[in-house]
Amino acid sequence: MKQSRLQWFVLATVIVGTFLGRLDQTIVNLALPKMIDYFGITVSAAGWIATAYILANAVFVPIWGKLGDTIGRKKVYIIGFVVFIIGSVLAGLSWNLSSMIVFRVIQAIASSADYPTAMAILAVTFKDMKSRAQALGIWSSSFAAASVFGPLIGGPLIDNFGWRSIFLVNLPVGLIGLAMALAFINESVSEKKSVKFDWWGASALGGALASLVLVLDKGLDWGWMSGNAIATYACIIAFSIAFYFIEKNHSEPIVDFKFFKNSVFNYTLLNNFIIFMGLIGSIFLIPIFAQTFLGMDATQSGYLFIPMAFMLLLAAPLGVKMIGKVEARYIIAASTLVAALGMYFFTWLDPRSTAWNIIWPLGLMAFGMGFGMSQRTTIIANVVPHDEIGVASSILALARNIAGAFGIAIFGTILQNATYSKITAISIYSTINSHSPAILKEAIGLMSLKAQISAYNSVFITSVVIVTIGSALALLIRMNKSETGRTKDAEVFAE
């Protein structure tokens, strides 16, 4: 097979793996009510099914990135795929909460191997800068599209085949992806041969990340200044300090701090963090709003995201075509601003809204996010040496994961606090000229409804502000082209 044709088969292969891993991360939340009934557990206990996955995934992303650069990206990708399929089947056969959590952790560890190795595989497969940018843009869009298709695919599967189907469906699809990986992906390793893997650094980073994700996920339930939360903050600080000193003195660190000497890398990472925090933090509320106030079920609310997925896939090639014609920072800034504009129209939502009032702002937001995504991924691929692209891409993936956790935690807290404060304000300035129990009950219900709608408005305004700040920060990404076509900023990494 010709090399030019083979490289597009490689792209299709990694898209299958990325899509499957990200889809599984979002689809499980829809099945939690069914699992609660089947296992006879509380809502709080069921939350650990999702939390365990997020924790394990965050911890192992940088480890797989380093291992891929060291022992071979194809090898790590295949190992991750095989273990993911096994973990999916086991999760589908779970008999109680404990077994489900164990098998979800196995899934998460395996799934976290995909992102850093996939990005590195594409970077070394596509030699031409333009084709590489196109490939990375399409692949990045599949990452976002999977989050959108989660509710869409999950609803019908759960309704028609039960909650086990969302795990067992990974077996046939996973085997197809595995066969493609074995057939099309060529092995590649870093030119720098590692002598000693940084296990102590990996452990310290894992402890810090696990503590951070745990408090972000559980902080709202615990209380942000509760004993559990304070103990977790202490763990974050202790593990982070240990990680810094281990990495600083290790010859082959799991995360090399020289990455952060590169201004292009830093500002791209910061923009990526902010936009994902704002978008994921607010988008997770849309299905809740649709089901709570518009009377939709899980499947119907999932259908709202279909146009969003298509807009993501439509916008990605447009972003690729602008590479080399317009400075990347302007494209990223404009795309982020369009996403913020789409999010702004969510502030108009109320119980009289229709599906269309949700669909078109989602589409606008997705379009903005889509045509800037390839720019961010391509910048990261171009400003670091190829022998460290696995580690660099794992940092990008880690930033996205942590940003999403931050967004959900922050906006969940804003929603709760805003609801309480607005109920108090509305009750103070409201007068009910009746002593009828029926009228009093109706009035209290209306005040509560108004407070909740107003609280959602506060969340969306906050997300608009955050994403707009991310747009402004994108203008700080300044790339200076060298004669080789890569950026002068990459020279920082060679020092």
Please provide the DSSP assignment of 204-232 as one string.
HHHHHHHHHHHHHHHHHHH-TTSHHHHHH
Do 231 and 265 reside in the same domain of the chain?
Answer: no
Taking the C-alpha atoms of residue 147 and residue 22, their distance in angstroms, rounded to an integer, is 6
Distances in Å between the alpha carbon of 194 and those of 55, 68, 477?
27, 11, 32
Contact 379, 42 (CB under 8 A): no
Return the ∠ at Cα 447 (arms to 443 and 448), rounded to 5°: 115
Share of the chain above pLDDT 70, in %: 83
Does 372 map to a domain? yes
Does 195 map to a domain? no
Q: Write the pLDDT tens digit of every residue in 34-84.
A: 888 888 887 667 767 877 787 777 778 777 777 777 777 888 889 988 999
Taking the C-alpha atoms of residue 247 and residue 259, their distance in angstroms, rounded to an integer, is 13
Q: Write the pLDDT tens digit of every residue in 320-356.
A: 777 777 888 888 899 999 999 998 998 888 888 888 9
Domain boundary among 214, 249, 284: 249
The pLDDT assigned to 345 comes to: 92
Does 332 map to a domain? yes
Do 360 and 331 reside in the same domain of the chain?
Answer: yes
257 three-class SS: helix
Do 42 and 170 reside in the same domain of the chain?
Answer: yes
Instruction: Reply yes or no on whether the pLDDT at 488 is more than 50.
Output: no
The amino acid at residue 281 is G
Does 207 map to a domain? yes
Return the ∠ at Cα 349 (arms to 33 and 410), rounded to 5°: 60
Top-confidence residue, 267 or 374: 267
Token output for 389:
């692209």
Token output for 14:
């990694």
Residue 192: pLDDT band (50, 70, 90) is low
Contact 154, 27 (CB under 8 A): yes
Taking the C-alpha atoms of residue 49 and residue 288, their distance in angstroms, rounded to an integer, is 19
Residue 493: pLDDT band (50, 70, 90) is very low
Taking the C-alpha atoms of residue 403 and residue 411, their distance in angstroms, rounded to an integer, is 12
Contact 285, 456 (CB under 8 A): yes
Task: Give 487's strand partners.
Answer: 481
Do 233 and 152 reside in the same domain of the chain?
Answer: no
Range of the domain at 242: 201-249
Instruction: Reply yes or no on whether the pLDDT at 188 is more than 50.
Output: yes
Mean pLDDT estimate for the chain: 78
Top-confidence residue, 248 or 92: 92
Do 219 and 156 reside in the same domain of the chain?
Answer: no
Does 360 map to a domain? yes
Query: What is the total count of domains within the chain?
Result: 3
One DSSP character per residue, 3-36 reads HHHHHHHHHHHHHHHHHHHHHHHHHHHHHHHHHH
Considering only 139-148, 397-406, 484-493, which range has the smallest mean pLDDT? 484-493
Domain boundary among 187, 217, 238: 187
172 CB-near residues (< 8 Å, 6+ apart): none
Greatest mean pLDDT range, 132-141, 142-151, 256-265? 256-265
Do 20 and 72 reside in the same domain of the chain?
Answer: yes
297 CB-near residues (< 8 Å, 6+ apart): 155, 291
Residue 144: pLDDT band (50, 70, 90) is low
The amino acid at residue 120 is A
CA atoms within 13 A on the CB side of 83: 18
Top-confidence residue, 355 or 150: 355
Taking the C-alpha atoms of residue 474 and residue 190, their distance in angstroms, rounded to an integer, is 30
Does 455 map to a domain? yes
Do 243 and 157 reside in the same domain of the chain?
Answer: no
Distances in Å between the alpha carbon of 344 and those of 19, 294, 364?
28, 19, 10
Do 365 and 448 reside in the same domain of the chain?
Answer: yes
Contact 205, 243 (CB under 8 A): yes
Top-confidence residue, 307 or 81: 81
Taking the C-alpha atoms of residue 386 and residue 191, their distance in angstroms, rounded to an integer, is 8
Q: Which CATH number is 377's domain given? A: 1.20.1250.20
Instruction: Reply yes or no on whether the pLDDT at 456 is more than 70.
Output: yes
What stretch of H or E contains 155?
A: helix 129-161
Do 88 and 206 reside in the same domain of the chain?
Answer: no
Does 170 map to a domain? yes
The pLDDT assigned to 482 comes to: 47
Task: Give 159's strand partners.
Answer: none
Domain boundary among 187, 216, 233: 187
Do 216 and 289 reside in the same domain of the chain?
Answer: no
Between the two ends of the chain, the Cα-to-Cα distance in Å is 39
Do 438 and 394 reside in the same domain of the chain?
Answer: yes
The pLDDT assigned to 103 comes to: 92
Q: Is the pTM of this model over 0.75?
A: no
Distances in Å between the alpha carbon of 285 and those of 108, 234, 299, 403?
24, 30, 15, 16
Top-confidence residue, 337 or 196: 337
Does 193 map to a domain? no
Phi/psi region, residue 324 (left: phi>0; alpha: psi -120 to 50; beta: rest), is left
175 three-class SS: helix
Instruction: Reply yes or no on whether the pLDDT at 495 is more than 70.
Output: no
Do 224 and 265 reside in the same domain of the chain?
Answer: no
The backbone torsions φ and ψ at residue 470, rounded to the nearest 5 degrees and listed phi first, read -60, -35
The pLDDT assigned to 486 comes to: 47
Instruction: Reply yes or no on whether the pLDDT at 196 is more than 80.
Output: no
